[in-house]
Amino acid sequence: MAASWSIANWSVKPDTMFDLTGRVALVTGAASGLGRAIALGLDACGARAVLVDQNTAGAEEVAACLTHETLVLRVDITRSDEVRAMVEAALRRFDRIDICFNIPGINARRPAVELTDEQWRSVLEVNLTGMFLCAREVGKAMLAQKRGSMINMASARGITGGTSQSVYSVSKAGAIQLTRCLALEWAPHVRVNAIAPGYLKTPLVLEIMKDREWFERTRDLHAMKRFGEPEEVVGAALFLASDASSFVTGSVLSVDGGWTAGSR
Q: Within a 10 A sphere around the Cβ of 218, how many other Cβ atoms?
A: 18
Exposure pattern of 169-204 as b/e (b: 16+ CB <10 Å)? bbbbbbbbebbbebbeebeeebbbbbbbbbbbbbee
CA 99 vs. chain centroid, Å, equals 11
Rg from Cα positions in the chain: 19
Please name the residues in contact with 146: beta carbons below 8 A apart, sequence gap of 6 or more. Answer: 189, 190
In the residue annotation, 199 being an active-site residue is answered as: no
The active-site residue, picked from 168, 227, 239, 259, is 168
**What SS3 class is residue 212?**
helix
Which residues are part of the catalytic machinery? 168
